[in-house]
Amino acid sequence: MIKKCVVCGAEFDANRAAKTCGDVCREANKKEYDKSYRQTPKRKAYMKTYKREYNQTPENKAREKARKQTPECKERKKASNQTPERKAYMKEYRQKPENKAKKKEHTAQNKAAKDFLLGMALAGEIGNQ
């Protein structure tokens, strides 16, 4: 039976339900299917819960903490934050009123915490323990 390949459009001699003409097209079709499969709401919800459960294990938390301390990871993060796209995004993000309000709130909380610790240090409660 002669069929047309769903990927490249070439005609080929098909066996039963074959949709692709060879290994290269089969891999491309498989990738395309997997990409569309992962986008379904049911699959997204499943992966979200699976990742959450996996990330909450003590072994994974320790492994992730150790990985983030490596120089390679720090360098990669630093490089990704220096891209022009990231800088433009952050500039736009900081200009939004709701984000400015968050920044003010965090600044006030940090100032209050520093004042509290400074007061305790002056009273001699910190450092004498």
**Which tens digits make up the pLDDT trace of 17-38?**
888 888 899 899 888 888 888 8
Return the DSSP state at 98: H
**Which of the four pLDDT bands, split at 50, 70 and 90, describes residue 126?**
low
One-letter amino acid for residue 76 of the chain: R
- In the chain, the largest separation of any two C-alpha atoms, in whole Å, equals 90
Whole-model pTM over 0.85: no
**Which of the four pLDDT bands, split at 50, 70 and 90, describes residue 127?**
low
* Domains in the chain: boundaries: 1-37, 40-82, 97-123
Residue 125, SS3 per DSSP: coil
Q: Is residue 66 over pLDDT 90?
A: yes
Residue 7, SS3 per DSSP: coil
Q: Which of 23, 26, 22 is nearest to 11 (CA)?
A: 22
